[in-house]
Amino acid sequence: MALKRDVAWLLVALLVGVFVLPLLVYFTGTMVLGPYAKGGPGVFVAGYLGDLASLRWFSWSLALGPLVIAAIWRAAAKVR
């Protein structure tokens, strides 16, 4: 049962990194730096997904960041 829960947490972390975090980056960027020059959030996310497909390291670090944090958290919790 614990393995299913761990996999579920890791899957949620991956989905947050791929779909939620880019939107947070977009809206934070527009608040701090002003409007996105190429368009709205849809254009930003499409460019981000295109960079994921092109294997750009910065997009993959954004996508995998929450997964890595969740994996380290779960591993640290197992050690105790």
Mean pLDDT by 10 residues, the chain (80 residues): 83 95 96 94 96 96 94 85
User: Domain limits of the chain?
Assistant: 2-79
Residue with tokens 């608040």: 31
pLDDT at res. 1: 57
Q: What is the pLDDT of residue 6?
A: 84
26 within 8 A of 41, measured Cβ to Cβ? yes
**pLDDT score for 78:** 79
Spatial distance between the Cα atoms of 37 and 15, rounded to a whole number of angstroms: 26
Give pLDDT, residue 37. 92
Looking at residue 2, what is its pLDDT? 79
